[in-house]
């Protein structure tokens, strides 16, 4: 059994209070869209939850579009904005470090829907290059349907300059979608103050179950539905309304927001202890996005001479759960697209390990990681060295044969 779980950005534990509230409403009979007494009661639960979610995120209840999670909310924010935009706005821009829920939605618009898609550059810290955005908007701002910039990155934890992006886009009349899936509960998130047109959040990152989330969408957001059906949720998100899920999300959010300040300073202190300890044990490891404002519970490091898979395998065997980056792609060995966008070479982008701390994390967890790390890294390096030697020999052979290494 895994004794130390440091993968809270992938998913975190469902809170006791949330599980109780969820269970209570799971067995409630009635479709919130039905007009009989059962339906009305379910609708009451749903609407009270919506009001609570709105209040905790600086939104109006009518701006809360409930979804089945962050991926769906992101797709609606990007694809919905593209299809809802006026005829002349066929361009879409997203930062190169977005989660696949945004990045691949935008790429699909490019390959299948005729969108002109731009992936906006980030700097070496993984933060959007605002001059690049300004130049982009000067060129195609008037033709742009939506710009997407995440509030905080799921791999590095780097916080993006959402306010500056909104200001730049406002001048060109361009709506902004922000993926706040990792930010909610970790940073103060106020939808109205942010000026964003749409904002995505997900329940299972903050102590609600998987399968519930929301898109906050301003009333003037021109969104076309992605799911077609019964026309629920302002006509942009069809599907039977999930009162139990809404209550779970509202309950988790209320707790996360109430405890945020205290909890995040506790997490930041633990993260810093882990970071300092790790650098003392593995001095050539590199903490990524260390020069940017970062989420308090994120530690993303590249470890030269290793493959993340080998490090994760060793950690797992020693009872520590961490990840290589985005959990959604962690099953497939790919270099981190975030690190590639930050200018890393492939080998470095394959050597990244992400530790993310959460509410259950204690000092003991940090000490556990630090106790096992030197051996895990040594083994990963030993496994890596012969492969590197083989690759170098193959390259020498290929150039001797005049093949040229491509
Ligand atoms: C930044 C970010 N956006 C979107 C998602 C997708 O959310 P969900 O798992 O609720 O579909 C994730 C999940 O890893 C994420 O980290």
302-311 pLDDT, tens digit each:
999 999 999 9
- Cβ(101) to ligand 1 under 6 A? yes
Ligand 1 pocket test: pick from 101, 148, 252 the residue with the most ligand atoms within 8 Å of its Cβ: 101
CA of 69 to the centre of ligand 1 (A): 8
Which of the following is catalytic: 328, 330, 370, 383? 328
**Which pLDDT tens digit goes with each residue over 342-375?**
999 999 999 999 999 999 999 999 999 999 999 9
- Identify whether 328 is a catalytic site residue: yes
Band of residue 330 on the pLDDT scale cut at 50, 70, 90: low
Band of residue 333 on the pLDDT scale cut at 50, 70, 90: low
Instruction: Specify the domain boundaries for CATH 3.40.640.10 within the chain.
Output: 16-255
- Cβ(213) to ligand 1 under 6 A? yes
Q: Where are the beta strands (DSSP E) in 175-324?
A: 176-179, 198-202, 213-217, 286-287, 298-302, 320-321
Ligand 1 pocket test: pick from 77, 160, 205 the residue with the most ligand atoms within 8 Å of its Cβ: 205
- Topology given in CATH for the domain delimited by 16-255: 3.40.640
pLDDT score for 390: 60
Cβ atoms of residues 181 and 198 within 8 Å: no
CA of 267 to the centre of ligand 1 (A): 21
pLDDT score for 334: 82
- Residue identifier of the C-alpha nearest atom 9 of ligand 1: 70
Band of residue 385 on the pLDDT scale cut at 50, 70, 90: confident
Band of residue 406 on the pLDDT scale cut at 50, 70, 90: very low
Indicate which atom in ligand 1 lies nearest the CA of residue 10: 14
CA of 321 to the centre of ligand 1 (A): 19
Q: Average pLDDT for residues 63-84, to the nearest whole number?
A: 98
Percent of the chain with pLDDT over 90: 91
- Cα–chain-centroid distance for residue 394? 38
Helix-strand-coil split of the chain, %, nearest 5: 45, 15, 40
Does 405 have pLDDT greater than 90? no
Query: 3-state class of 158 per DSSP?
Result: strand
In this predicted structure, which of 243-257, 262-276, 320-334, 336-350 has the lowest mean pLDDT? Answer: 320-334
- Cβ(67) to ligand 1 under 6 A? no
Supply 266's token pair.
Answer: 């506790």
pLDDT score for 331: 60
Q: Angle at Cα 68 formed by Cα 32 and Cα 78, nearest 5°?
A: 120
Gap between the Cα atoms of 129 and 122, Å rounded: 5
Write the CA distances from 259 to 50, 253, 267, integer angstroms.
Answer: 20, 10, 12
- Cβ(203) to ligand 1 under 6 A? no
In the chain, the N- to C-terminal Cα span, in Å, equals 44
Percent of the chain with pLDDT over 70: 92
Instruction: Specify the domain boundaries for CATH 3.90.1150.10 within the chain.
Output: 4-8+260-388
- Residue identifier of the C-alpha nearest atom 5 of ligand 1: 70
pLDDT score for 395: 47
- Residue identifier of the C-alpha nearest atom 14 of ligand 1: 10
Does 112 have pLDDT greater than 80? yes
pLDDT score for 398: 46
**Which pLDDT tens digit goes with each residue over 212-264?**
999 999 999 999 999 999 999 999 999 999 999 999 999 999 999 999 999 99
The burial class, CB within 10 Å (0-12 / 13-18 / 19+), for 134 is: middle
pLDDT score for 178: 99
Higher pLDDT, 150 or 396: 150
Does 403 have pLDDT greater than 60? no
Supply 346's token pair.
Answer: 């492939």
Cβ atoms of residues 200 and 210 within 8 Å: no
Task: Enumerate residues 6+ apart whose C-beta is below 8 A from 40.
Answer: 30, 34
| pLDDT, the chain, mean | 94
Q: Average pLDDT for residues 95-109, to the nearest whole number?
A: 98
- Cβ(74) to ligand 1 under 6 A? yes
pLDDT score for 2: 59
Gap between the Cα atoms of 163 and 156, Å rounded: 20
Ligand 1 pocket test: pick from 12, 95, 99, 149 the residue with the most ligand atoms within 8 Å of its Cβ: 99
- Topology given in CATH for the domain delimited by 4-8+260-388: 3.90.1150
- Cβ(327) to ligand 1 under 6 A? yes
pLDDT score for 175: 98
């Amino acid at each position: 059994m895994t004794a130390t779980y440091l993968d809270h950005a992938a998913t975190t534990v469902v809170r006791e209070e949330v599980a109780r509230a969820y269970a209570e409403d799971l067995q409630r009979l009635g479709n919130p869209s039905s007009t009989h007494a059962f339906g009305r009661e379910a609708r009451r639960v749903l609407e009270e939850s919506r009001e609570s979610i709105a209040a905790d995120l600086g939104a109006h209840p009518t701006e809360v579009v409930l979804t089945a999670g962050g991926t769906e909310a992101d797709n609606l924010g990007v694809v919905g904005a593209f299809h809802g935009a006026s005829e002349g706005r066929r361009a879409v821009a997203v930062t190169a470090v977005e989660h696949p829920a945004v990045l691949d939605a935008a790429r699909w618009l490019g390959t299948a829907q005729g969108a002109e898609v731009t992936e906006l550059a980030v700097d070496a810290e993984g933060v959007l290059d605002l001059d690049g955005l300004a130049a982009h908007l000067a060129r195609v701002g008037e033709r742009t349907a939506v710009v997407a910039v995440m509030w905080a990155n799921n791999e590095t934890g780097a916080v993006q300059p959402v306010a500056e992006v909104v200001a730049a886009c406002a001048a060109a009349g361009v709506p902004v979608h922000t993926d706040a899936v990792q930010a909610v509960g970790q940073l103060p998130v106020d939808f109205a103050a942010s000026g964003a047109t749409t904002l995505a959040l997900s329940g299972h990152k903050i102590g609600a179950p998987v399968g519930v989330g929301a898109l906050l969408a301003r009333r003037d957001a021109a969104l076309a539905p992605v799911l077609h059906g019964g026309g629920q949720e302002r006509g942009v998100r069809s599907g039977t309304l999930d009162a139990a899920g809404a209550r779970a999300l509202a309950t988790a959010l209320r707790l996360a927001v109430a405890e945020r300040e205290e909890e995040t300073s506790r997490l930041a202190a633990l993260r810093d202890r882990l970071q300092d300890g790790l650098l003392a044990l593995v001095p050539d490891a590199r903490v990524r996005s260390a020069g940017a404002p970062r989420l308090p519970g994120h530690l993303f490091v590249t470890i030269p001479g290793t493959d993340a898979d080998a490090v994760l395998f060793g950690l797992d065997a020693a009872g520590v759960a961490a990840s290589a980056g985005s959990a959604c792609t962690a099953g497939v060995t790919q270099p981190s697209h975030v690190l590639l966008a930050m200018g890393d070479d492939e080998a470095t982008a394959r050597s990244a390990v992400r530790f993310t701390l959460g509410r259950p994390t204690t000092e003991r967890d940090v000490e556990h990681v630090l106790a096992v790390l030197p051996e895990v890294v040594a083994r990963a390096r030993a496994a890596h060295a012969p492969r590197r030697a083989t690759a170098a020999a193959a390259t020498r052979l290929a150039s001797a044969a005049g093949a040229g290494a491509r």
